[in-house]
Amino acid sequence: MSERAFIRYQGVEKAFGEHAVLRGVDLEVKEGETVVVLGGSGTGKSVLLKHTIGLLRPDAGQVWVEDEEVCSLGERGLSEIRKKVAMVFQAGALFDSMTVFENVAYALREHTDMSESEVGERVTEVLAQVEMPGVEELMPVELSGGMRKRVALARALALKPRALLYDEPTTGLDPLTGHAINTLIRNLQKSLKVTSIVVTHDILSARMIADRIAWLRDGRMAFVGTLAEAASSGHEELRRFLETGGGIGESRRP
């Protein structure tokens, strides 16, 4: 892990109408590191993630990927960022009018000059990486929730991104499937050395994959550090959040 920040949020603010979601988020994610962003439902974790690749634009503040400021980029620049930083959406967001193969091949066909056979090889390769061989011809509706997340991960991996953003990778899965996804994420971290930001309220997930955790509370990062630091920190609410497995943040919301 290098000390250089790969992704950096600086005073990011975002409101939807009257409702201020992010009120000045600061966070640095170093190259090769995995940061798990924790927080209750509706605290703006996914919103923060979407700012990273310009799917949302902040009302104030800046988002940096390496040495580029994302909000200042035009369409072409954003496209370059999105090749470097891939996102895995909450429910997979697979294109349901396309087969698994076409889903995974989408970015390859969009951004590379690969021949169809090269595309086919790469699709087979990433599907094997997420332990889903031989599903190329299935439609997304034929897949279970866990399989969908794996295929979504394969689609994100296709272009060999340097960073991955996971939006609630284990939400809606049974504990065993969730555990399998966490294991997969950890193995990919080790083998591919990608920088990762994982948004979740699943404490087990955080324990398995986090180098550091960031705790989003009231639109700001209330705590950033390792799990051990979090356990010994003075943040009473964060400690309870970690102990109970994530219910507290939700029930304490007004």
Partner 1 sequence: MSGVLKQALDDLGGLGYLAWDTVRYSVSRPFGFGLLVEQLFQIGVMSLSITSIVALFTGLVISVQTIYSLSSYGGQLFIGDLVALSLVRELGPVLTSLMVAGRVGAGITAELGSMTVTEQVDAIRALGANPIKKLVVPRVLATVIMLPLLVVLADIIGIFGGMVAVAAELGQSPDFYLRRVLGALSIADVASGLIKSAVFAVIIALIACHRGLTVTGGAAGVGAATTRTVVSASISILISDFFITKFLLWALV
Give the range of 107-115, 131-139, 182-190, 208-216 binding partner 1 by CB under 8 A: 107-115
Cα(8)–Cα(66) distance, integer angstroms? 8
Closer residue to partner 1, CB minimum distance, 168 or 224: 168
Residue 96 found at the interface with partner 1 (CB under 8 A): yes
Q: According to CB under 8 A, which one of 41, 62, 79, 171 is a site residue for partner 1?
A: 79
Shortest reach from residue 91's CB to partner 1, in Å: 6
Taking CB under 8 A as the criterion, the residue among 59, 69, 110, 118 binding partner 1 is 110
DSSP state of 159: T
Tokens of 14: 């975002």
Q: Where are the alpha helices (DSSP H) in the chain?
A: 45-52, 75-84, 100-111, 116-129, 145-157, 175-192, 203-209, 227-231, 236-244, 247-251
Structure-derived torsion over alpha carbons of residues 90, 95, 101, 107, reported in degrees to the nearest 10: -80
CB of 145 to partner 1, least distance (A): 13
Cβ contact 100:135 at 8 Å? yes
Q: Tell me how far apart the alpha carbons of residues 200 and 91 are, in angstroms, rounded to a whole number.
A: 13
The smaller minimum CB distance to partner 1, of residues 38 and 107, is found at: 107
Amino acid identity at 237: E
Residue 95 interacts with partner 1 (CB under 8 A): yes or no: yes
DSSP state of 144: -
CB of 54 to partner 1, least distance (A): 8
Q: Which of residues 119-178 bind partner 1 (CB under 8 A)?
A: 155
**83 binds partner 1 per the rule CB under 8 A:** yes
Alpha carbon 60 to its chain centroid, in Å, reads 22
User: Can residue 87 be called a binding residue for partner 1 (CB under 8 A)?
Assistant: yes
Which of 23, 111, 186, 239 contacts partner 1 by CB under 8 A? 111
**Residue 60 Cβ, how far from partner 1 at the closest point, in Å?**
22
Question: For residue 132, what is the DSSP state?
Answer: -
Residues contributing to the site for partner 1 (CB under 8 A): 50, 53, 55, 75, 78-80, 82-83, 86-87, 89-91, 93-96, 106-107, 110-111, 155
